[in-house]
Copies of this chain bind each other. A is one copy, B any other.
């Protein structure tokens, strides 16, 4: 595509040669004359100046940088959003030809839309429905009575246990396991009696679940992941957890059973949420933190997590501990208490 075409695509403006041909998008340090690169964070300015990229995507402010004068620029009001569109145009996702691969095993009573694709060696249980344009990739194991919405994409080796629902356009990456039994036992005299986990999981629309993440079915009722929520790799979602719309769970985060997260919640990497807690809309949990109390609003950090301002003050005080100990010793000495 020509730079001018990309500018039109994103409603941006070309400074320089609009006829310049762009073959691919590459990082600043790797891009060559046939590539477009991008400057989204001020901290990458130096790399942008030094880059051999044929063209640069950036925002209005950065485009005024004298060090970039003479470069072919694509100026967009929202360059991050523009990058999304450009990547999609230059790197269209692979096409999955519709149809059920002859090696796929499909149980009785399934309804598979003719435009859906079911890959080699996929195994699908009885009574499952697969919507228009949905893709169930190689080796996926889909249980009985599941529902996979239109345009949903299950990468190779995704597992859905019985009765799982995956909403339209949701994407599940390889190794994701949705609907396995929750971790529920009644312990009596050192013996753990399994509580049958007879509920299910509902993954709403436009959700993405990362590689090797696990979302457990409810004991009774539902575990639910709200529309537009994005879940990174190796995340654990316990039974009966409910997550609102548009939340973000970063890598290796974990949520114990029955906790409820509102809309727009953000869990940093490796963050943990104890069981039976409520986190309000927009709550943010810092990476490597662990939440043991409900959080109505705002940001928390630490183990156990506290309001983030309090956490910062505490960190500052911890940095002064040595000085405090020294002062205390000096005072004691002065008062003749030191022997």
A residues lining the B interface (CB < 8 Å):
24-27, 29-30, 78, 80-81, 83-84, 87-88, 90-91, 93-94, 103, 105, 119-121, 123, 137-139, 141, 144, 155-157, 159, 161-162, 171, 173-175, 177, 180-181, 183, 185-188, 190-196, 198, 208, 210-214, 216, 218-222, 228, 230, 232-234, 236, 238, 240, 245-246, 248, 250-252, 254, 256, 263-264, 269-270, 272, 274, 287-288, 290, 292, 302-304, 313-315, 317-318, 320-322, 324-325, 327-328, 330-332, 334-335, 337
Contacts and interface: CB of A to CB of B under 8 A. Distances in A.
A81 B186 contact: yes
A198 B321 contact: no
Chain A, interface SS category: loop
Q: How many chain copies does the complex carry?
A: 3
12 contacts: A30-B221, A30-B222, A84-B194, A159-B211, A171-B181, A185-B248, A191-B228, A234-B236, A251-B256, A270-B272, A270-B290, A304-B315
A254 to B, nearest CB: 5
B162 A180 contact: no
A212 B324 CA distance: 46
A177 B177 contact: no
Contact of A211 (B88, B214, B228): B214
Given A141-B157, A233-B236, A180 B186 contact: no
Give the top 3 A-B pairs by smallest Cβ distance, nearest first: A288-B290, A141-B156, A91-B198
Contacts of A256: 250-251, 269, 287
B238 A251 contact: yes
Contacts of A159: 155-157, 174-175, 211
B236 A196 contact: no
A335 B332 contact: no
Given A90-B198, A159-B174, A180-B233, 8 more contacts: A26-B221, A139-B141, A175-B212, A177-B211, A269-B274, A287-B292, A317-B322, A330-B337
Contacts of A194: 84, 208
Given A27-B221, A94-B144, A250-B256, A331 B324 contact: no
Contacts of A198: 25, 87, 90-91
Contacts of A246: 190-192
Contacts of A218: 27
Given A210-B214, A254-B251, A324-B325, A94 B174 contact: no
A42 to B, nearest CB: 13
A321 B318 CA distance: 8
A74 to B, nearest CB: 15
B25 A220 contact: yes
